[in-house]
Structure 1
Amino acid sequence: MRHTVVERELELRLILSPERSIPVPARLGYRTDDPYAVHVSFHVGSEHQVDWTFSRDLLVEGVFRPSGHGDVRVWPSKADGCGVVLVALDSPAGDALLQAPAGIVSAWLERTLRAVPAGTEADQLGLDDALDELLAR
Structure 2
Amino acid sequence: MSAHRSVSSPQPRPAAASTEIRFDARIVLGEDQSLDVPVRFGYRADDPFAVALEFLGPASEAGTWLFARDLLWEGLEKPTGLGDVRIWPPCPCHGRPHLRIMLQGSDGSILLDLPSRKLRRWLRQECFALVPSGTEGDVIDWSAELHGLAD
TM-score range, shorter chain: 0.7 to 0.9
1:46 and 1:88, CA in 2 relative to 1: closer, same or farther beyond 3 A? Answer: closer
Whether the 8 Å CA contact 2:52–2:64 is kept in 1: the answer is yes
The letter of the residue matching 1:63 is L
Please give the alpha-carbon distance, in whole angstroms, between the structure 2 residues aligned to 1:49 and 1:95. 10
Structure 1 counterpart SS, 2:97:
strand
Residue 138 (structure 2) aligns with = 123
Please give the alpha-carbon distance, in whole angstroms, between the structure 2 residues aligned to 1:96 and 1:46. 11
Whether the 8 Å CA contact 1:13–1:23 is kept in 2: the answer is yes
Structure 1 counterpart SS, 2:46:
coil
Structure 2 segments unaligned to the other structure (5+ residues):
1-12
Residue 36 (structure 1) aligns with = 49
Structure 1 counterpart SS, 2:58:
coil
Please give the alpha-carbon distance, in whole angstroms, between the structure 1 residues aligned to 2:120 and 2:60. 29
Tell me how far 1:77 sits from its aligned partner. Answer: 2.2
Please give the alpha-carbon distance, in whole angstroms, between the structure 2 residues aligned to 1:48 and 1:61. 27
Please give the alpha-carbon distance, in whole angstroms, between the structure 2 residues aligned to 1:13 and 1:93. 19
Tell me how far 1:78 sits from its aligned partner. Answer: 3.7
Structure 1 segments unaligned to the other structure (5+ residues):
none
Please give the alpha-carbon distance, in whole angstroms, between the structure 1 residues aligned to 2:23 and 2:36. 10
Please give the alpha-carbon distance, in whole angstroms, between the structure 1 residues aligned to 2:49 and 2:81. 15
Please give the alpha-carbon distance, in whole angstroms, between the structure 1 residues aligned to 2:60 and 2:88. 30
Whether the 8 Å CA contact 1:44–1:50 is kept in 2: the answer is no
Tell me how far 1:75 sits from its aligned partner. Answer: 1.1
Whether the 8 Å CA contact 2:54–2:60 is kept in 1: the answer is no
Residue 105 (structure 1) aligns with = 119
Tell me how far 1:50 sits from its aligned partner. Answer: 1.2
Larger radius of gyration: 2
Point out the structure with the larger strand share. 1
Tell me how far 1:103 sits from its aligned partner. Answer: 0.5
Tell me how far 1:81 sits from its aligned partner. Answer: 5.1
1:78 and 1:44, CA in 2 relative to 1: closer, same or farther beyond 3 A? Answer: farther
Bigger shift: residues 48-57 or 34-43: 48-57
* Count of matched residue pairs: 130
- The equivalent position to 1:91 in structure 2, one of 105, 121, 124, is 105
Runs ≥4 residues deviating over 6 A: none
Residue 69 (structure 1) aligns with = 82
Identical positions, percent? 35
Please give the alpha-carbon distance, in whole angstroms, between the structure 2 residues aligned to 1:109 and 1:85. 13
